[in-house]
Amino acid sequence: MIDNVDPQVGTLPGSIQAMEAEPPVSTEKMRYVLESEKERRRLEVQAGMLEPFTKRFLAGAGLSNGMSILDVGTGVGDVAFLAAEMVGPTGRVLGIDCEGGMIKRAQQRAHAKQVENIQFQTGSLLPGEQLGKFDFVTGRLVTAFQPDQVDFLRRVVSRVKVGGSIALIEAGWNLCGTWTNPTIPAYDELIERSLSLIETLGFDTQLGSRLTQLFAHAGLGEPSVTAELLVGGPDSELLDYSLLNFENLFITARKRGLEAPDETALNLMWAEIRKAATASHVQFSGPCVVGAFIKIN
């Protein structure tokens, strides 16, 4: 890990940040409602599935050797680790997250992996945060959680050097429309129920399909967009990932007084779903992941 960050790259202990103009927007500290040990594990599994797309997308967006990178909403650090590999030893990566528990795990992982060109710290792009400017700013599955996405995107832009790029990845659950083929009604119902709970908790399940509009509303030009649909059969990683999603979401929903299946009910449904999937060789479709990037001039 890096302790002293190059001023051109990441954290600056109170120097040029004072001169940075912040957009006049909300100063409220963001909290991540899904935050838990289970969520940290879920993020690692999810990251494994999203890695090939993320790597291709970031390379296509221009992330390359020697750059300074900011990963906003880094979670347990997976996009940051990928970026650190891509920028090589002459580049630097800073991952920030509003949740201290996420950052602690990311730091432990950086230490275990002995990654030298990476640093993690808590942060939410709020006014007064000492971050500096970067060649490239990215954020995967973080904008959808923001109460004001345009405000958030403007903050992201405020951290990019002139001539640098921003690149966001978000899910667009409506881009697929078919969850199982042949159909397993119990699974389709679980997905629909989850999407509705996610929306009730205040998250945007469709942002991936509206990134072009979001960029326009933030005063940017038209981004380059690309997408990948996650699919898999009865024994696929996608199905294990799906179960983790349901478990985590339902626990969070119940804690907040919302109606959702408990662990026993979910396990019973899941056993039936797996049986039906194996019997009919069902193909599952998960979320579509969409990437959008643009150069900031």
Q: Which residues bind ligand SAM (CB under 6 A)?
A: 30, 32, 43, 47, 72-75, 78-79, 96-99, 102, 124-125, 140-142, 145-146
Residue 122 C-beta: closest distance to ligand SAM, Å: 8
Comparing CB distances to ligand SAM, the nearer of 27 and 267 is 27
Comparing CB distances to ligand SAM, the nearer of 98 and 220 is 98
Residue 60: which of 138, 119, 8 has the closest Cα? 138
Read off the tokens for 203.
Answer: 């998250």
Comparing CB distances to ligand SAM, the nearer of 95 and 164 is 95
Residue 97 C-beta: closest distance to ligand SAM, Å: 4
Comparing CB distances to ligand SAM, the nearer of 104 and 254 is 104
Comparing CB distances to ligand SAM, the nearer of 71 and 234 is 71
DSSP state of 167: E
Decide: 296 and 160 in contact? Cβ < 8 Å: yes
Comparing CB distances to ligand SAM, the nearer of 32 and 295 is 32
Residue 254 C-beta: closest distance to ligand SAM, Å: 20
Residue 294: which of 184, 219, 199 has the closest Cα? 219
Residue 58 C-beta: closest distance to ligand SAM, Å: 12
Residue 155 C-beta: closest distance to ligand SAM, Å: 8
Pairing state between β 92-97 and 118-122: parallel
Residue 43 C-beta: closest distance to ligand SAM, Å: 5
Distance from chain centroid for Cα 161: 22
Query: Which residues pair with residue 167 across a beta bridge?
Result: 138, 293
In terms of residues, how long is the chain? Answer: 297
Query: Could you tell me the CA-to-CA distances from 137 to 37, 192, 215 in Å, in that order?
Result: 27, 33, 14
**Distance between CA atoms of residues 132 and 164, nearest Å:** 13
Q: Is the dihedral of CA 92, 97, 103, 105 positive or negative?
A: negative
